[in-house]
Chain A
Amino acid sequence: MPGSFCCRALTTNESDPMEHTSDIPVLEVKDLAISYQTRKQLVPAVRGVNFTVRQGQTVGVVGESGCGKSTIAFGILDFLGSNGKVVGGSIKFMGKEMVGTPRAELRKIRGNNISMVYQDPMQALNPSLTIGTQLTEVLTAHTDIGEKEAWGRCIAMLERVYMPDAANVMNRYVHMISGGQQQRVVIAMALLNNPSLLIMDEPTTALDVTVEAAVLDLVEDLKKDFNTGIIFITHNLGVVARVSDRLCVMYAGEMVEQGPIENLFANPAHPYTRGLLCCVPRLGDSLSNNRLWSIQGRVPDPAERDLDACIFAPRCDWRIEGRSLEDKSLTANCTSQHPELLAISEDHWSRCFLGRETLKVPYDDYSRGQKDSVIQMAEGDDDFSAMDTLLNIQNMKLYYPEQNPSLRAILGLEKKSHVKAVDDISLKVLKGTTLGIVGESGCGKSTLVKGIIGLEALTGGKVELMGIDLNQPAQKRDLSLIRELQMVFQNPDSTLNPSYSVGAQIARPIHKFKTVPKRKVRQEVERLLKSVKLASYYYDRYPRQLSGGEKQRIGIARALASRPSLVICDEPVSALDVSVAAAVLNLLNEIKEDMGSTMIFIAHDLSVVRFISDLVAVMYLGEIVEFGPVSAIYPPPYHPYSEALLSSVPIPDPTDKRQSIILSGDVPSPTNRPSGCCFHTRCPRRSVLPDNGKICEQEKPKFQRLPNGHKILCHIPADKLTELAMERGDERMMLHTG
């Protein structure tokens, strides 16, 4: 949106008070080692970390969960808690050694010069104080600025982070602004005392893609304006590629690779970095890929790490399989010696005995499987009438009554208002295909699924499974109907009951639906375990002994136990680390091909949906705005909302400096839906229509039917939409899919 970019002109070029010291790096970390005291022993959490942050430089720290990224941040801030401490190395801030400095002195340094932005803005802000109070406190506590002046400076800072209506936001409470705005407040708060170092710990992980794109743009701008050194911690390579100048890759508490971002993405040397880069599905991949690269095993727990070997050796396929390594003797020391950082090129190091050897193999060459067949739609068959419909949703509506605490409402004098979570959706799920449903949080995609599976009663419309009416809640449905519909859930930590063994939990649906005779249940469970690539000894294990990916596999096995005809996956990989998520996606694809199951796959990640689906529905505010086969959704023409979503997806390629479309404003409340087209309040494209898109406000658009069953809910003609997308330079999607 124009509003977001024009502000850059307003930024002032303050003279930097630290100019004379600019050759001293803001932060210099050398051989940092941090350990935690546990009941049994001192467990090393982080070791061998070296990096330097200069002014105006962003250093990305990337790695999977449990790799010690946040521990480094807490180490720098001395927030390690009662049982953690820095056991070695040095942290120099502006040339001053921090390790060993008394706490009181550290506090002064931190308060004035180092700020931190956390992942969840809801937890970083105090819900019972106004935003103004919280912001001004930063200034009045650390400096002797008066209340009034502080207030003014805070408003200026909020404007600087592109907060709309900044003066009024100061008087609001945290719950009154949206998640993206909350994160802006946190960033503004962090910048108020003009810190030399800003540590951002997964600042966009909790945000939707379109909001994330806006926050990342903001971080880029701020770096230029404030000349601050930034440490940007994230697990997302796409995000880090977008904002960082340098990248540090962490694995199991060690820094395994470090270098300038372009260099590192172009020539990743460490096998772990290569694995990370290969295991995320990308928008540019060929649609016929059906396997992702995944790293075997999992990140070892801190207490299980072998300190005298390469920490990655147990998972490294260069060591295990040799790959195309000419000199196999290079891997001889992997399990007996701890590798040091080796120079790959100038300013680029990798902690691997292979050093430059790995560069001889192009990193995107990892073999990936091919789909047996890409679902092809018959020409001219736009209603898919040639294919069997498994699930037919007609005009489904699902409203939640809104609690209205006023006396008039209780007496029944006021009209009841409803949250229209799902409004008039019609969809067909074709047998043997996977339907992907994408949309940002709050768009109603989970509610749609709850309606289908019977966890919520429908307000209107009809859902039919193979011609049988599904309008009853799950507990009243016939058992034979229940077993046809099963679900895989999002959160691996709560998908399994911690009190029962894995075997018992998979066996329960088998007993309940009597899919096999009683004495064969154990056999059946083992067969299911095998189908999700787990050994039969998992039968007796308890959920807390499993990793996230394993738990998710058990969840899939449990869903498959009743041999359902339709499996609904509600964001099954969004809570998993990338390497684990890749394995689970591969598994789902295999199950789909081996068993011919039909799936509904819900996700907010467009690249994941593209990878796994045959048909895609894009949802916004309880409605489907675009629908079609995956080959038609990803190249233009797009619905303006889909286009914004697609342009916001962070691409793990630092050379790709495209501008994402930033949507203005917030998602409107589903209680008070906008008139006409539900997207008109935020649509960046409506200005191409006459009268600045007056028709969008007045008239509800109808689906434009395009070839191959592609449907777009928009007033703008499809040809014009294609033209607009091409104008923006979005040719990338055409490469493999067009």
Chain B
Amino acid sequence: MPETVETKNLKKTKKTQIKEMFTILLSSKIAMVGLFIVLFWVFVALFAPLLTPYTPNEQDWKAPNQGPSAEHILGTDELGRDLWTRLIYGARVVLVVLPVSENISLPGGTAIWGVLVALIIGATLGLIGGYKGGWLDELVMRLLDAMMAIPVILLYLIIVVAIGASAVNVVIAISIVGVPGIARLVRSLTLDIKTREYIRAAETRGESAWFIMFVEILPNTRGPIIIDAMLRIGYAIFAMGTLGFLGLGMPPPSPDWGSMVAKGRAFILTGNPYAALWPSLAIASLVVGLNLLADGIREESMRYQ
């Protein structure tokens, strides 16, 4: 008789797992708002060439510094470039395409690559520190502590000034800055997980340290890491904006949200705030969206446990 219950439980396969994830997402209004904002930006970035008749660097000499109109729905900048076009092409660099050189570009935006690289390095360091412990852990963690002591903006500036401003270098800067935080998170998770009995079982099976770290421990850290990564993409977008604003982002004339704000800033008082307003709103909405999504998922997955 208990077999019927058993088989019923059995049908809870991967499909229901995904379904459960969606119910979590759907039951949190906060997460839904976040998801909507993020998906909006991903969508416009993906289909940017189809959503505008202009190219980002096309100049309309007759219409510089204009407000929203029928031809230019968000207006134009001081060189008469269409702001909507520049905005959505800017989103491309952030979320969808990483221009490595003029001819080569990788899928996945600058912010995402930066966080991904930081994740790989940070998780490795955290795993080694947490699992091995001892002097190795001390050495790694003290070095990372020293890095964390430097203010983030300063660290970005130092790195980008040292290696030059380009998309790839921004990725490098984002990853270097992200490593200490991720390493700390993974280390603390590892310290907890390594006391579990399945790690003892792997050790008594004579598994190597690498196997235990990457196959037994790492997959179990994924929940907190995913949420942390979402927040970190938000920080990275913020950082890109800051660097762009300071003239250290993508080299001109590429459509960079930060540098758009910097250029448009001069015209705010002359009655044309649009060139600065739209990219500021874009950065703010995307960062807020990612934060809402991460918070919503975290809260909802904690409840009812």
Instruction: Enumerate chain A interface residues (CB-CB to B < 8 A).
Output: 38-39, 83, 296-298, 300, 304, 313-315, 320, 453-455, 474-475, 477, 479, 482, 485-487, 489-491, 494-500, 505, 508-509, 512, 535, 537, 540-541, 545, 555, 558, 562
Contacts and interface: CB of A to CB of B under 8 A. Distances in A.
Interface centre among A39, A485, A496, A505, by most B CB within 10 Å?
A: A39
18 contacts: A39-B23, A39-B303, A304-B5, A454-B204, A455-B200, A474-B206, A475-B203, A475-B208, A482-B204, A482-B205, A485-B204, A489-B200, A495-B197, A499-B222, A537-B10, A541-B10, A545-B9, A545-B10
B1 A314 contact: yes
Interface string B175-189: 000000000000000
Contacts of B219: 497, 499-500
A386 to B, nearest CB: 31
B253 interface: no
B199 to A, nearest CB: 8
A696 B204 CA distance: 40
B206 A545 contact: no
B304 A38 contact: yes
Interface in B194-251: 196-198, 200-201, 203-209, 216, 219-220, 222
Contacts of A313: 1
A83 B197 contact: no
Contacts of B303: 39
B208 A495 contact: no
Nearest to B216: A497
B240 to A, nearest CB: 33
Given A487-B200, A545-B12, A499 B2 contact: no
Contacts of A455: 200, 203-204
B13 interface: yes
Q: 8 tightest A-B contacts by CB? A: A297-B2, A499-B219, A489-B197, A494-B196, A482-B206, A497-B198, A494-B197, A314-B1
B197 A490 contact: yes
Interface string B1-36: 110111001101100000000010001000000000
A444 to B, nearest CB: 17
Interface residues of B, number: 29
Contact of A315 (B1, B204, B205, B216): B1
B204 A474 contact: yes
A485 B303 CA distance: 42
Interface centre among B1, B10, B205, B207, by most A CB within 10 Å?
A: B205
Contacts of B207: 512
Contact of A298 (B2, B27, B196, B208): B2
Contact of A540 (B9, B13, B27): B13
A83 B204 contact: no
Contacts of B216: 497
Contacts of A497: 198, 216, 219-220
A512 B205 contact: yes
B60 to A, nearest CB: 53
A133 to B, nearest CB: 32
Interface centre among A83, A298, A315, A474, by most B CB within 10 Å?
A: A474
A39 B27 contact: yes
A436 B198 CA distance: 23
A535 B3 CA distance: 10
Contacts of B196: 494
A540 B13 CA distance: 8
B2 A486 contact: no
A498 B10 contact: no
B206 A296 contact: no
B30 to A, nearest CB: 15
A38 B12 CA distance: 19
Nearest to A482: B206
A489 B10 contact: no
Given A39-B304, A497-B216, A296 B2 contact: yes
- Looking at chain B's contact residues, the main secondary structure is helix
A540 B11 CA distance: 11
Contacts of A320: 1
A487 to B, nearest CB: 5
Contact of B203 (A297, A314, A474, A537): A474
A505 B220 CA distance: 14
Interface in B62-90: none
Nearest to A550: B6
Contacts of A498: 220
Contact of A495 (B10, B201, B220): B201
A613 B206 CA distance: 28
Nearest to A477: B206
Contacts of A512: 205-207
A491 B27 CA distance: 33
B2 A558 contact: no
B154 to A, nearest CB: 37
A491 B197 contact: yes
A485 B205 CA distance: 9
A562 B196 CA distance: 21
Nearest to A38: B304
B10 A83 contact: no
A474 B202 CA distance: 10
B187 to A, nearest CB: 19
Nearest to A300: B5
Given A314-B1, A487-B204, A490-B197, 9 more contacts: A83-B304, A297-B5, A300-B5, A314-B4, A455-B203, A482-B206, A487-B200, A512-B207, A535-B6
Contact of B198 (A39, A297, A496, A509): A496
B6 to A, nearest CB: 8
Nearest to A537: B10
A336 to B, nearest CB: 14
Contacts of B209: 475
Interface in B248-305: 303-304
A369 B51 CA distance: 77
B53 to A, nearest CB: 47
A535 B1 CA distance: 15
A315 B201 contact: no
A475 B203 CA distance: 7
A558 B203 CA distance: 13
Contacts of A83: 304
Contacts of B2: 296-298, 314-315
Nearest to B10: A537
Contact of B1 (A297, A489, A540, A545): A297
A313 B23 CA distance: 33
B26 to A, nearest CB: 10
A376 B4 CA distance: 44
A497 to B, nearest CB: 4
A297 B6 CA distance: 9
A421 B201 CA distance: 22
A474 B1 CA distance: 44
A509 B206 CA distance: 10
Contacts of B23: 39
A477 B208 CA distance: 12
A479 B205 CA distance: 8
A314 B5 contact: yes
Contacts of B206: 474-475, 477, 479, 482, 512
Contact of A509 (B203, B205, B222): B205
A505 B304 CA distance: 29
Contact of B204 (A38, A486, A537): A486
Nearest to B221: A499
A36 to B, nearest CB: 9
A498 B208 CA distance: 20
A455 B212 CA distance: 14
B233 to A, nearest CB: 24
A340 B9 CA distance: 29
A487 B199 CA distance: 12
Contacts of A496: 198
A382 B197 CA distance: 37
Contacts of B198: 494-497, 505
Contacts of B203: 455, 474-475
Contacts of A558: 201
A486 B206 CA distance: 11
